Structure 1
């Protein structure tokens, strides 16, 4: 027996019934066995108090940190028929290198001189626009001339109106004078008749006075008619003035109408020429799209389309290119329960597929073949697999191997706080997340300090 306790049971057990007890009873074997059990027990107890680095493990894939450095498919802008390939899978291409050449499959673009003919149409339309511009200039000059002529004509008519008005005034004065002279002649005739009745003058003198009255009366009628003619002339000049204004207004309106029509045709021509220029630019750009170019420096990895003479639609993935230079990163997914423990800037250790490594997750300093990384981004929305995506970039502490490729697997270990081994075992047996009670203890210490 071990005889650990002072209460021995050696005499109460029938030792011959148990072979094992008899073997232990041997003094040498018993001492060695006791020492081994004691050493093992002390070793286990000591290991329970060793520091253990809490961690969160997750699987992921290697990717590029920047979206513009990740693999992409090269697509064609226009539909066409594959005429010639210039690359093959595995080739290194530079930006602007030709990937393949397409030929036209749409009938409206079959004309080999399509651009030249469209340029001729644009030039013809430009000449038509120049003609309309010259027509507008001529009409503007015509309007300017009509305005000048109207102004001169109105001045001439105004002078006629003034002259007619003065003539009316003169004739009116002459008519008034003849009426006064007629009235005077009548009074003289009456006096002559009175004198004749009194025998003071002869009949001859009386008849002479009567003739004089008739002449004065005829002269008065003539002056009245002259006045009427001058008034009619004055009215006619006023009418002529209105006619001149109306006539030139009609002519100017007619020219302006023609100018508006020419301007409308000019703007229509400008609009059509703009459309034709746009069409010409599209034709020229379309010819450039016959050549599918590499958008960046990189390696050709996978040809999605193949063959010669195959028709493809626009925006069809043709080939995949991987950028020549890209900043390494790992895309990992963590459970929602572990997400609050990971912050931007935290360190993670990675094991890459195909890269030899020896890992002790609780003692990262003893691990071999692992590479550090720094958390760069954490998604704010959950992924379709029920986990959150974390993007970890390459750390400056230890560069990642150049042999890793985009899409290869990686296993990440997010390093958290260091705790004793017994605490970690107790936490995992109870299903608590890392740092759960550590956070509670910190809150308790804060409250006690207050």
Structure 2
């Protein structure tokens, strides 16, 4: 120091000149205070080594465990106009009870006999489909009859061809026989002429032999004509066989064409019938959508649409319903840094808003008014509030949750982790470290 000032520091023995200062050390309660401070210091040191349960805190609300037990809104399926209300807010409704009645607002559904008219169209198309089926059956029968007739005609033509062939063979044999007779008659005529020249035969015998020769030649010509006629009949029979084949092929082809035309009409009628039946089913279902009913037992919370004659569109919410039977659960939100420390099935301590509670987060056994729970689901995507959602169900091994809890009431949660000394927890908190990752001890298997 520079010691710029000439004044010296006050020495301690200077204060002892005053009686007030000398009496301070003689008072007994200051000695007690010193002992108390020393005891508190020792107790503080001991407290630092007491066990502390690390935990993850979260806040949320009471909800239902199953999705179908949570509050829901009932929406309109079709556009319509509100005609009548059957309930009011706070009413208990059973499954299937009518809530509201809507009337039609689209012009294509204004016809009051629309369903019956569509049903008549379906019946008419069924009759047309049956008529096409009968026509196909009749054409099948006609084709079968033509094929049978063609077979018989073919047999008849084949028989005629065989007859013509046999007749040709018979006429050929007769023709050959007549040719032989002509040769014999010619030989006899030449012999008679030679003998008549020699004077051994009279002229009358020669003329007789010449007459026989001419008669044989005439028979030869006649028999040749018969043979040619038989051959011509064979050709005609073959031509008739081919003509019958072509004729019946044409008839069968025409019947088959008519059959396929009828089948095409039948398939088209089936498509139109399916379309009409689909349309009829849609109209029937739409008629049932004019009355909006309760999907399950519950209480009418709030009417989201009001008045009469008001037009609503498809998918517009009409009323909100709270299910009458539900299982309580708590949805809480934890920070992303704590998400990896939670596992499905872990125990959670829960306390509810409005319920008398004394909570010691580090000493759960000393807490009062908390209830046990277990993690049943952990959301894998972050929520809009920047935290992860965790669903907690009541722990069956502990006391049941209060029946007076209402859906949506606030809740606080504590997830219990590893037990550490208090000094470690203070040190961890001051340094901003996360809690220790707790893992249940498992038997370690010896490696081979």
Q: Which residue of 1 is the match for residue 4 of structure 2? A: none
How far apart are 1:18 and its partner, in Å? 9.8
Q: Distance in 2 between matches of 1:18 and 1:236?
A: 169
Q: Distance in 2 between matches of 1:129 and 1:342?
A: 67
How far apart are 1:24 and its partner, in Å? 3.0
Distance 1:295 1:17, change over 3 A: farther
Distance 1:221 1:410, change over 3 A: same
Q: Which residue of 1 is the match for residue 415 of structure 2? A: 414
Q: Distance in 2 between matches of 1:329 and 1:391?
A: 7
Q: Which residue of 1 is the match for residue 357 of structure 2? A: 357
Q: Distance in 1 between matches of 2:373 and 2:138?
A: 79
Q: Secondary structure at the match of 2:182?
A: helix
Q: 1:52-93: per-residue Cα shift (whole Å, max 9, x none)?
A: 222111111222222222222211211111111112222221
TM-score, length basis structure 1: 0.90
Structure 1: runs of 5 or more not aligned: 1-9
Distance 1:23 1:335, change over 3 A: farther
Q: Secondary structure at the match of 1:435?
A: coil
Alpha-carbon contact 1:23-1:29 (below 8 Å) kept:
no
Q: Distance in 2 between matches of 1:244 and 1:30?
A: 144
Q: Which residue of 2 is the match for residue 428 of structure 1? A: 429
Q: Which residue of 1 is the match for residue 236 of structure 2? A: 236
Q: Which residue of 2 is the match for residue 87 of structure 1? A: 87
- Single out whichever of 207-216 and 29-38 deviates more from structure 2: 29-38
Q: Distance in 2 between matches of 1:149 and 1:25?
A: 147
Q: Distance in 2 between matches of 1:40 and 1:406?
A: 47
Alpha-carbon contact 1:82-1:307 (below 8 Å) kept:
yes
- Single out whichever of 49-58 and 254-263 deviates more from structure 2: 49-58
**CA RMSD, aligned part only?**
2.2
How far apart are 1:17 and its partner, in Å? 6.4
Q: Distance in 2 between matches of 1:262 and 1:400?
A: 74
Q: 1:296-328: per-residue Cα shift (whole Å, max 9, x none)?
A: 112221222222111111122222222222222
Q: Secondary structure at the match of 1:299?
A: strand
Q: Distance in 1 between matches of 2:308 and 2:22?
A: 90
1:49 equivalent to 2:49? Answer yes
Q: 1:273-308: per-residue Cα shift (whole Å, max 9, x none)?
A: 111111111111111111111111122212222221
* Aligned length, in residue pairs: 430
Q: Secondary structure at the match of 1:338?
A: helix
How far apart are 1:148 and its partner, in Å? 2.0
- Aligned runs of 1:281-300 on 2, under 5 Å? 281-300=281-300
How far apart are 1:11 and its partner, in Å? 7.0
Q: 1:137-164: per-residue Cα shift (whole Å, max 9, x none)?
A: 2222222222222222222222211211
Q: Distance in 2 between matches of 1:228 and 1:386?
A: 114
Q: Which residue of 2 is the match for residue 6 of structure 1? A: none
- Single out whichever of 217-226 and 204-213 deviates more from structure 2: 204-213
- Single out whichever of 396-405 and 245-254 deviates more from structure 2: 396-405
Distance 1:151 1:12, change over 3 A: same
Q: Secondary structure at the match of 1:284?
A: helix
TM-score, length basis structure 2: 0.90
Q: Secondary structure at the match of 1:301?
A: strand
Q: Distance in 2 between matches of 1:85 and 1:420?
A: 64
Q: Secondary structure at the match of 2:337?
A: coil
1:196 equivalent to 2:196? Answer yes
Q: Which residue of 1 is the match for residue 59 of structure 2? A: 59
How far apart are 1:13 and its partner, in Å? 5.7
Q: Distance in 1 between matches of 2:367 and 2:16?
A: 51
Q: Distance in 2 between matches of 1:399 and 1:377?
A: 20
Q: 1:380-421: per-residue Cα shift (whole Å, max 9, x none)?
A: 333343322211111221222222223222111112222222
Distance 1:210 1:411, change over 3 A: same
Q: Distance in 2 between matches of 1:18 and 1:76?
A: 94
How far apart are 1:360 and its partner, in Å? 1.7
